[in-house]
Amino acid sequence: MLLRMNRRDFLKKALTITGLTLMGGKAFSEPSSYSTGNKANRKNWEKYEIIKARGINLEEPYAILLDLTRCIGCRRCEWACNEWNKNPNKPLKEFEESKDKKPSVFDKNRRTHAGEFTVVNRFYEGKNPIYVKKQCMHCLDPACLSACFVNAFKKTDYGSVLYNPSLCVGCRYCMIACPFDIPAYEYYDPLTPQITKCTMCFDRITENKLPACVEICPADAMNFGKRSEILRLAYERIHNNSGRYIQHIYGEYEAGGTSWLYISGTDFEKLGFPKLDKTPIPQLSKNFLFTVKVLEIVAAAPLVWTAYYMISKSKKG
């Protein structure tokens, strides 16, 4: 740990000396971007290997419902996530006070970074703030998984999408593929950088505990359970409070469906959610791969024939 801290300090110095901080370094203004040495990946992957060896089959994957009308923006979920996953953290008070502080972290729309698996952003409808928690959606058919050329991702029976740090080559194509812009990268680790993202607290839910963020939420904005039950809950809530919610469960069908489901009183597009259709993202590349393979096989025949023809012609000539 000491060594890591030293390296980070050294890097900061090196940055200032080489003047790199002047050149568009804005992208790294979040300190969590500098984070390295993620521990959650390996811990969860080892857990997954153990469970796989035990051969436990779950009937149905889990899901989480996030009710945006209930979220109060206390950012405790961020704190709990950092705490559980051993990411760089600050005292809980600093998270809680940002709602009323000026200037505040909410002034800027944030995304996930190497040391930050979940972030809460603030939007406004008129004068009313709407807080939107953002983390890996744990797609049913994940784009990152299909994009990975060494198959380093796994969609588990529990619903979690997990990352295997011992296979990753570091091409970062998963980051391009993810429609929610979730996977982040340890850019400041020169030798063993990892992709980092929320694991849906795989190491907790497999032990009958709630994900850290769900557990700490003081506003009861999140519910964890089997996906079909969670969907039913979402439908019920929308049905019973028709004025409060719009008729849309984000994640029910988006990109083929996700394990995090959102209900809201405001259009999702106004809250930074990408507009996605029902097609799972991997389908886009699978169609292409299929076409290419067909064309390669079809093209092979005439090409081989031409080659034979040219060889025999040159022999005669």
Among 41, 146, 223, 264, binds another protein (CB under 8 A): 146
Residue 212 makes contact with another protein by CB under 8 A: no
Q: Which residues of 209-218 are buried (b: 16+ CB within 10 A; e: fewer)?
A: ebbbbbbbbe
The one-letter code for the residue type at 21 is: T
Does 15 bind another protein (CB under 8 A)? Our answer is yes
Give the SS3 label for residue 185: strand
171 vs 219, which CB is nearer to another protein? 171
For another protein, give the closer residue by CB, 127 or 315.
Answer: 315
Q: Among the candidate windows 70-78, 93-101, 107-115, 240-248, which touches another protein by CB under 8 A?
A: 107-115
Q: Is 306 in the site for another protein (CB under 8 A)?
A: yes
Residue 65's φ and ψ, nearest 5 degrees, are: -100, 130
Q: Which residue from 51, 72, 92, 175 is in contact with another protein, where contact means CB under 8 A?
A: 175
Query: With contacts defined by CB under 8 A, how many residues of the chain interact with another protein?
Result: 71
For another protein, which residue of 6, 9, 14, 90 counts as binding (CB under 8 A)? 14
Tell me: does residue 37 bind another protein (CB under 8 A): no
Q: Which residue has the tokens 């597009």?
A: 269
Tell whether residue 125 is a contact of another protein (CB under 8 A): no
Residue 34 lies near another protein (rule: CB under 8 A): yes
Exposed, middle or buried, 283 (CB in 10 Å: 0-12/13-18/19+)? middle
Residue 190 as a binder of another protein (CB under 8 A): the answer is yes
Strands 119-125 and 62-67: unpaired
Q: Pick the binder of another protein from 56, 58, 294, 303 (CB under 8 A).
A: 303
Candidates 43, 187, 209, 229; binder of another protein (CB under 8 A) is: 187
When asked if residue 148 is in the footprint of another protein (CB under 8 A), the reply is yes
Q: Contact with another protein (CB under 8 A): which of 147, 212, 231, 238?
A: 147
Nearest 5°: the CA angle 120, 271, 25 is 60
Least distance (Å) between residue 38 CB and another protein: 13
Whether 141 and 214 have beta carbons less than 8 Å apart is answered as no
Shortest Cβ 6–another protein spacing (Å):
13
The number of C-alpha atoms within 13 Å of 190 and in the hemisphere containing its C-beta is: 5
Q: Tell me, what DSSP letter sits at residue 35?
A: -
What tokens appear for 25 in the block?
A: 């370094």
Task: Please give the full DSSP string across 74-140, using - where no structure is assigned.
Answer: --HHHHHHHHHHT-----HHHHHHTTT-SS-GGGS----BTTBS-EEEEEEETTEEEEEEE----BS
What residues from 71 to 90 belong to the interface with another protein (CB under 8 A)? none
Answer yes or no whether residue 281 interacts with another protein by CB under 8 A: yes
- Please report whether residue 149 would count as binding another protein according to CB under 8 A: yes
Selected binder of another protein within 65, 152, 216, 261 (CB under 8 A): 152
C-alpha to C-alpha distance for 288 and 296, rounded to whole angstroms: 12
9 or 97, CB closer to another protein?
9
Q: Which tokens is 293 given?
A: 């393979």
- What Å distances lie between residue 31 and 61, 142, 203, CA to CA? 34, 28, 26
Q: Is 24 in the site for another protein (CB under 8 A)?
A: yes
Q: Which of 50, 58, 150, 294 binds another protein (CB under 8 A)?
A: 150
